Amino acid sequence: MVMKKVPFFIITIVLLFCLSTKAQEWRDIAPGTIVTLPRDLYAQNGYRIQWWYFTGHLYDARGNEFGYELTFFAAGVQARKYKSKFGVDTIYISHFAISDVEGKRYFRFSKADAGAYGFAGADSRRLRVWVDNDLLEGSLNKMHIKANAKEVDLDLVLIPQKNIVLHGDKGYSRKSEESPLIASLYFSCTDLATKGSVKLGNTSFRVQGKSWFDREISSQGLAKNEAGWDWFAIQLDDGEEIMLYLIRKKDGSTDRYSSGTLVHKDGSLIHLASNDFTVKVLNNYTSARTNRRYPSQWEIKVPSKSLRLLVTPSLEDQEFTGDQAMGNPYWEGTCRVEGSARGRAYVEMTGYK
């Protein structure tokens, strides 16, 4: 008998239906919860949503620039565990995008599977997550990622250059004024030396550059009064990195638990509360696909470090849309950084209309 993968639209329906179940079925991230390594690098049972998130800036020998996103999600749809391989308790999803900066092209793809017959899964005893041929494996010392779809391929080896960064309070990252349980376990590798290949159509590029890895585990979504978030992963040429996120409320204000982390060249870090930085939108653009209006340039200031950064998308059109976003388009793209320091950034924006 030939085993077939579950169609994407069926997985989407199951996921959206089951995610409406009560959050009490799932383990909470409560104050005092801390990151334990390497355990929390691996898949964790009992949580509603977790992801392994890679973005990066790559260059070939001729200076051609590529941005990439590769994300693996494990979304719990029921807390119940099944003995049968046909019982659906987790949906595995990968999002894969390549931004060809010189060619002004953006490619986006998604895969999803319930994990039956080994088409997708996440290991709880080692770092291995996969959806079809999209794969993450390795350790804290060296990671390997690859993805392919419709003649677009990515195959990279990533080696951390700094220690793991624990955001918030030892990894406990609160996301809402409404409740301390609206939170996640959140840690990153902000500086990964990266080598490998990118293939677009019939052309392959040997590339190297720098990547960023986020690991996040949670059981709660946004609060009822929250609309979405803006997330910045900034990698400066002087060896510093900055993570910032703004949780946007439906009334246009920002939740006071928005925060960030500044990582020095030597790996030491400073936690940034919402009043330690400012993010000002300077320009906007409207998507031709969805008619959603997104910010398209930002001024970021960190007064304590005398930083004033101008962040501008390298391509305006980097919107992840359609079935790939399961009905929730978002913008995620590579950006250039200028101002008091220079570098590159990845920015993610959700919840815009």
- Predicted pLDDT of residue 87: 54
- Distance, in Å, from the CA atom of 273 to the CA atom of 296, rounded to the nearest integer, reads 24
pTM (predicted TM-score): 0.92
Whether the Cβ atoms of residue 273 and residue 246 lie closer than 8 Å to each other: no
Whether the Cβ atoms of residue 99 and residue 66 lie closer than 8 Å to each other: yes
179 within domain boundaries: yes
Tally of CB atoms within 10 A around 179: 12
**Is 15 a residue whose pLDDT tops 60?**
no
**Which tens digits make up the pLDDT trace of 254-296?**
999 999 999 999 999 999 999 999 999 999 999 999 999 999 9
Domain total for the chain? 1
- Distance, in Å, from the CA atom of 96 to the CA atom of 134, rounded to the nearest integer, reads 9
242 within domain boundaries: yes
Question: What average pLDDT does this structure show over 35-57?
Answer: 97
21 within domain boundaries: no
Q: How many helices (H) and strands (E) would you count in the chain?
A: 1, 23
> Which residues constitute the domain of residue 137?
8-15+27-349
184 within domain boundaries: yes
CATH code for position 192: 2.40.370.10
20 within domain boundaries: no
Give the burial class of 86: count Cβ atoms within 10 A of its Cβ; 0-12 exposed, 13-18 middle, 19 or more buried.
exposed
3 within domain boundaries: no
**Is 182 a residue whose pLDDT tops 60?**
yes
Whether the Cβ atoms of residue 255 and residue 275 lie closer than 8 Å to each other: no
42 within domain boundaries: yes
Question: What average pLDDT does this structure show over 152-157?
Answer: 98
Lowest-pLDDT range, 15-19, 58-62, 310-314? 15-19
Whether the Cβ atoms of residue 324 and residue 109 lie closer than 8 Å to each other: yes
- Predicted pLDDT of residue 202: 94
**Which tens digits make up the pLDDT trace of 318-332?**
999 866 556 689 999
127 within domain boundaries: yes
Of 42 and 20, which is predicted with more confidence? 42
**Which tens digits make up the pLDDT trace of 105-142?**
999 999 999 988 899 999 999 999 999 999 999 999 99
Q: Which residues are registered as beta bridge partners of 231?
A: 245, 348
